[in-house]
Structure 1
Amino acid sequence: MTQKCTPDDDGDAALAALRAMVFIGDATLAKVTGQLTLTQFRALRTVADRTPVTMTRVAQELGLNPSSVTRACERLVSLDLVNRAQNPLNRRETLLAPTARGRQIVEQVDADRRAVLGSVLDRLPPQRRAAVLAAFRDFATAASPES
């Protein structure tokens, strides 16, 4: 039998962890580039991970409406973080790919986030650290859209 999350106790603990993660995410993004919103960075990450990718696919991946993604990607193109080209197989589609600078930003944000998370995890005793990492893996699997 699975135990349900209680809103007051488990939910508050999960919410506190989420707030800490969002703070780390925002701080590391601001450190690398103060020019991007979180949505723009998420779009850049999707483009970098799925190259080449259409705007429609980026919108689906992010769960956003296409016009929001179009605006985010226009900003990424104007900052020379993403290249845009017509799909030679379907002229109605626009393909997106990261520039070298766009890839560098994604890699730097990831490196900074790993460093910050590593320093937080280093404050935990080894057994707790292993348990937290196992919980992170389980949580990520459970939260995955494919689950």
Structure 2
Amino acid sequence: MTEHKRKFEWIDKWVKMTGERARIDAKAHKTAIVYRTDQGWVREHHDGTIERMNSKENRGGKVREKERIDRIMSLLQIIWEKQTDVRFNQLISNLQVMYSSQNGGYGQRKMKEKGLQGDEVESTYLDFFFLEDERWEEFLQRLVDNEEA
């Protein structure tokens, strides 16, 4: 048993580091992280306050329908088949840029990174983590209907 514990001890450290990184990101972007405890789901805000969540709040009050997966994947397939030279992740990236530009810059995040000379350079990226599937599906359907893709 001791050998088994030593073999996978790194996982506990990795999980702890991942959680700490999430807290740092939440503070930087003034958002929150959500995780499960023995008492249920909690939301930890960037200021350190923690609130309990019940399962309905955690799911936005409803369970997402399974059928949406097939609909969204079908729409993506239609769009991708019109652009067969594009790699899948390019397709998704291009679609996110289109969605963002059509929706007031949705998902745009600013960050600073080190430039080639070691100086700080402002940069942006897109974060679609909180975009509901319903909105994404509507966007994809409009593209298919208007043949924009």
TM-score using structure 1 length: 0.26
The structure that has the greater radius of gyration is: 2
Which has a greater percent of strand? 2
Which has a greater percent of helix? 1
